[in-house]
Structure 1
Amino acid sequence: MRFSSLAFTALCGIRLVASAALSKHENSFELVDGPFFTFHYKTDRPSEKNWIGIYSIYGEGPGKEEPLYWDWMRESEETKRVDDKHLNWGAYKAYFLVDDDYKVLAGPIDIFLSGKGPISFNVKEFTTKNAREGENFEARVSGLLHHAPDPDTKYSKESSGSDWISVSEDGVISGIPSESGSFTVTVKATASDKSTATVDVTVPVVASGKPLVTELKVMSLNLWYGGTQVSDYNRKQISAIANSNADIIGLQESTHGHATQLADALGWYSWQGKDSSIISRYPIAEKYGAVTEISGAVRIALDGDDSQVIIHNCHPYAYPYGPYDPCFDNKGADAIMDTEERGSRIRQINAIMDTMADALDNADNVPVFLTGDFNAPSHLDWTDETKSSHCGIGQFDWPTSKVPVDAGLIDAYRELHPDPATDPANTWSPVYLINDDYDGRKEPMDRLDFVYYKGNLTTQKSEVYMVGDPKPEPDHYYNEWPTDHKGVLITFKIGA
């Protein structure tokens, strides 16, 4: 995409490049000099519910997806500052929208939020989605670049072992593979200030007539307020995801458009929810959206109509938190269940199962996943053999795990690691080891993050995923691992 040559230098030192737009209603809307994203607008249709929405240039825009950020624009004329602290460098679109709806009063304005340079790639190596011999292939890798000073960075093919791969100036790899195998191309980025960076991109190619995807990696990952609790979080998230080689990820705490931004950076596809979101290496064929108050779902086309999966992703409410009853208040099993019944999680997990019922009935044809940070442990972990690890409580039927299993879903981690005494696989928490709200006592450690599945799949590998050795809070800010949960990563073989 080309941007206008009109440049503004914001007071905060961020360079913006934008082109103003005027709607058919003659409502003016423009970017002006000022801190953050500062807009001036004028309308003859003022409303308490007029608003501005900031969207990714790679997304579908108003009415098709949630904005990355938004704010009210209630006056007939006003200069309005929109805080961009949740946005990473790159290209965006701003819209002036009417009366709490997605109808456009003015815009879009194309905006580029510049990096501080010098340019670099977020990863040294990157693997794309699979290609197939003899078929057109395309993958965008420009989002992997870090700190471009403006939108004029150009991409080129520096070296490759295969002639079929080409790299466009805007950072898209494309071509028609002539044979199967694994092919690597070195992509070079050259910024307007002449600084350069390279990344090695591998394209796996399957043989003609073969299924495009036979192995699928699914992850659940809580981003921890979008990742904002650590430094340079976007780079760290991209690196962690790319190095995991996950194909589909259920994200929690992905507010302020962080799922969309991650998918844009990876050249992936996304459904952005208010908290729970989903990103995928392969195209999203249908977005079911927010199917309950704490979950969303999509259908993903791994190989067009020939191979698809459905994923639901959730984030039940955290409080009241059950493990605190025995560990901090010396309460027994009956009191814990009373806490669960008084809270929201039982209602929420039952609502999720209701929305999944038809998909579960059809799981032999279209496999189904349920990922999430459930904010509660599993009945498969709290057993008589592990009572010493759970403040004296033995077998306990946590509803948030019992209900999915009773509905026919399989806990993919426990399927391969059935003994919680020897392999607790705690995902909460590598950062919160001490609870200051309870006089500095030790935080109960538990497995709160899950990947469940049903369908024609074989679990090949299950692991708890984390990068490095994070320091506990309050010394967490410079951790390489950008969250307070560990992820759970499952490798499936598609088909029996």
Structure 2
Amino acid sequence: MKAMLFQSIFFAALSGVPLVASAALPKRGSSLELVNGPFFTFHYKTDRPSEKNWIGIYSIYGEGPGKEHSIYWDWMRESEETKRIDDTHFNWGAYKAYLLAESGYTVLAGPIDIFLSGDGPVSFNIEKFTTKNAREGEKFETRVSGLLHHAPDPNTKYSKESSDADWVSVSEDGIISGIPSGSGSSTVTIRATASDRSTATIDVTVPVVASGKPLVTELKVLSLNLWYGGTKVKDYNRKQIFAIANSGADIVGLQESTHGHATQIADALGWQSWQGVDSSIISRYPISERYGAVTETSVAVRVALDGDNNQVILHNCHPYAYPYGPYDPCFNEKDADAIMNTEKRASRARQIQNIVGAMAGALDNADKVPVLLTGDFNAPSHLDWTDATNSSHCGIGQFDWPTSKVPIDAGLIDAYRKLHPDPAADPATTWSPIYLKNDDYNGRREPMDRIDFIYYKGNLTPEKSETYMVGNPKPEPNHSDNEWPTDHKGVLVTFKISPPPNIQIHGVLSRSRPLDL
């Protein structure tokens, strides 16, 4: 396959060898280029070799080194080398690569842009899509090109096929823009035409609020564990995009989103992201501030739902899974004291205490800026393990799980139990629709529990709370073709937003961690 140049974008076919253009201009005597061979094979040269030099691959739409986590990275320790890096974590789309110095963010060479193609014909991941809200009389813009799948190269063109709104424009690169002339929902059908002449259409709805009205009065929040990024299920990226778009969520706390999976989902949806090492957050609305991690598996952001007039702070976490507390009574016939010792040994309580402790300033200010905490807590709730439900929990009655006691004692409210207070009538299990039996314990029945949560404090009123899942997934080991791409159910809460008073943003975190390495 010969080298070709696509407007400074390199092209790598998912099913074959990359098509290569000339390398980016070297910086400080260094160069980086994508070379012929298996895709994601790079040749680099530098006059500043170091054991700590590295390559970082980022979303084409992101801000790059020092501003966001890389999707993938690897060491580049020689003065000159040709090296292939792991490509299994990348889906169709555009990326950029940098050669970086000394475990930091000084750019030695790059960026070079890379495009990973599909195998055609083109199609959209979903048939219908709803954007963020627009406001009458104000400029609106959003991108839908990320929803296209299987494009053979980066030369696909987009056009407006039809619309019930004259104000809507669609650029050739898939940007919807314009100034709404009235309120209500505006719809547009967009056609994508690839270089191989295959085409696909998608129906897009733009909700438009009246001039002078709040941009967002209802907020949907989803917590979802991706299960090793989704890689346990075939065609997982498309299924993740469908599941999240179908939920109607505005902000999503993702766990097990390693290797840039959150960034890739957000790019597809035209959203913003804060990609962590494990936990990540994606948002339909602008992320106005990204905070450093409090623990190894947590992230936090501030989201501007309506500029400075309406904001929320969201923390997302994934405390350590093992040793897992419910196994003590259900598999090992241990008592409540033994369970508590397991929780302390697992460090979950410490992690949650650190996270909630770092939220103290934001919680004090929650009447002005609401606060949310999402996550797969890898432990049940004391609101569920009660004397009335002991038969469902291997004979253990009321048990004060630290991971739920700590946030509630700090003033946070369990959004699901706020609307469904009876755990006997509505257990709302999220673990697990896939693991029904435990092979490590001779095929005994896996304990079923609610371990995924959304907590809140401030001017938010939950109107609907539910567990969320698409389709009827088959349990393991027959899970690979499931439409639902994870081993948890999600938790989805619809909040009504009360009119906020004057906004005051307080610091919400006490410490931060490096983005990469």
Distance 1:7 1:61, change over 3 A: closer
In structure 2, what is the Cα distance between the partners aligned to 1:7 and 1:131? 35
Per-residue CA deviations over 1:60-115 (Å, capped at 9, x if unaligned) read 00111111011111111110001211100111101111111111111111111111
2:183 corresponds to which of 180, 183, 201: 180
SS at match of 1:292: coil
Per-residue CA deviations over 1:402-444 (Å, capped at 9, x if unaligned) read 1100110000001000111111000000101110011110110
RMSD of aligned C-alpha atoms? 1.4
Cα deviation for residue 11 of structure 1 reads 9.6
Please report the TM-score for the alignment, with normalisation by the length of structure 1.
0.98
In structure 2, what is the Cα distance between the partners aligned to 1:11 and 1:457? 45
SS at match of 1:112: strand
Per-residue CA deviations over 1:229-275 (Å, capped at 9, x if unaligned) read 10000000000000000000000000000111111000001101000
Distance 1:412 1:488, change over 3 A: same
In structure 1, what is the Cα distance between the partners aligned to 2:478 and 2:90? 24
Cα deviation for residue 13 of structure 1 reads 1.1
In structure 2, what is the Cα distance between the partners aligned to 1:291 and 1:340? 19
What are the equivalent positions in structure 2 for 1:308-327 lying under 5 Å apart?
308-327=311-330
In structure 2, what is the Cα distance between the partners aligned to 1:63 and 1:274? 14
1:407 corresponds to which of 385, 410, 418: 410
1:246 corresponds to which of 238, 246, 249: 249
Distance 1:17 1:129, change over 3 A: farther
In structure 2, what is the Cα distance between the partners aligned to 1:55 and 1:293? 21
- What residue is the counterpart of 2:302 in the other structure? 299
Whether contact under 8 Å (2:18, 2:38) holds in the other structure is: no
Per-residue CA deviations over 1:2-21 (Å, capped at 9, x if unaligned) read 94478666695154455521
1:58 corresponds to which of 55, 58, 61: 61
In structure 1, what is the Cα distance between the partners aligned to 2:318 and 2:17? 35
Q: Does 1:23 align with 2:41?
A: no
In structure 1, what is the Cα distance between the partners aligned to 2:29 and 2:172? 36
SS at match of 1:290: coil
Moved more, 44-53 or 287-296: 287-296
What are the equivalent positions in structure 2 for 1:444-459 lying under 5 Å apart?
444-459=447-462
Cα deviation for residue 296 of structure 1 reads 1.1
Which residue identity is paired with 1:202? T
Which residue identity is paired with 2:51? E
In structure 2, what is the Cα distance between the partners aligned to 1:360 and 1:284? 19
Which residue identity is paired with 1:76? S
Which residue identity is paired with 2:360? A
- What residue is the counterpart of 1:287 in the other structure? 290
In structure 1, what is the Cα distance between the partners aligned to 2:335 and 2:104? 50
Distance 1:197 1:389, change over 3 A: same
Moved more, 400-409 or 335-344: 335-344
In structure 1, what is the Cα distance between the partners aligned to 2:187 and 2:9? 38
In structure 2, what is the Cα distance between the partners aligned to 1:199 and 1:99? 45
What are the equivalent positions in structure 2 for 1:357-368 lying under 5 Å apart?
357-368=360-371
- What residue is the counterpart of 1:162 in the other structure? 165
1:268 corresponds to which of 268, 271, 278: 271
Cα deviation for residue 289 of structure 1 reads 2.4
Q: Does 1:13 align with 2:8?
A: no
Distance 1:51 1:429, change over 3 A: same
Distance 1:378 1:9, change over 3 A: closer
Whether contact under 8 Å (2:14, 2:118) holds in the other structure is: no
Whether contact under 8 Å (2:226, 2:254) holds in the other structure is: yes
Per-residue CA deviations over 1:313-370 (Å, capped at 9, x if unaligned) read 0000001110000000001111111111222011111101110000000000000000
In structure 1, what is the Cα distance between the partners aligned to 2:47 and 2:167? 55
SS at match of 2:292: strand
In structure 2, what is the Cα distance between the partners aligned to 1:270 and 1:11? 25
Which residue identity is paired with 1:382? W
- What residue is the counterpart of 1:113 in the other structure? 116
- What residue is the counterpart of 2:468 in the other structure? 465
- What residue is the counterpart of 1:237 in the other structure? 240
SS at match of 1:236: helix
1:67 corresponds to which of 70, 74, 78: 70
Whether contact under 8 Å (1:16, 1:112) holds in the other structure is: no
- What residue is the counterpart of 1:392 in the other structure? 395
Distance 1:8 1:248, change over 3 A: closer
Cα deviation for residue 29 of structure 1 reads 1.3
Structure 1: unaligned runs, 5 residues or longer: none
- What residue is the counterpart of 2:502 in the other structure? none
In structure 1, what is the Cα distance between the partners aligned to 2:415 and 2:209? 27
Whether contact under 8 Å (2:118, 2:152) holds in the other structure is: yes
Per-residue CA deviations over 1:349-395 (Å, capped at 9, x if unaligned) read 11011100000000000000000000000000001111111001111
Per-residue CA deviations over 1:197-223 (Å, capped at 9, x if unaligned) read 000000000000000000000010000
- What residue is the counterpart of 1:42 in the other structure? 45
Moved more, 467-476 or 290-299: 290-299
SS at match of 1:326: helix
Which residue identity is paired with 1:201? V
Distance 1:5 1:459, change over 3 A: closer
Whether contact under 8 Å (1:128, 1:201) holds in the other structure is: yes
Whether contact under 8 Å (1:288, 1:297) holds in the other structure is: yes
SS at match of 1:405: helix
2:384 corresponds to which of 381, 401, 419: 381
In structure 1, what is the Cα distance between the partners aligned to 2:277 and 2:447? 28
- What residue is the counterpart of 1:477 in the other structure? 480
What are the equivalent positions in structure 2 for 1:88-237 lying under 5 Å apart?
88-237=91-240
In structure 2, what is the Cα distance between the partners aligned to 1:224 and 1:172? 32
In structure 2, what is the Cα distance between the partners aligned to 1:335 and 1:84? 44
Q: Does 1:439 align with 2:451?
A: no
% same residue: 80
In structure 1, what is the Cα distance between the partners aligned to 2:172 and 2:124? 16
Which residue identity is paired with 1:103? T
Matched residues, number: 495
1:356 corresponds to which of 359, 382, 399: 359
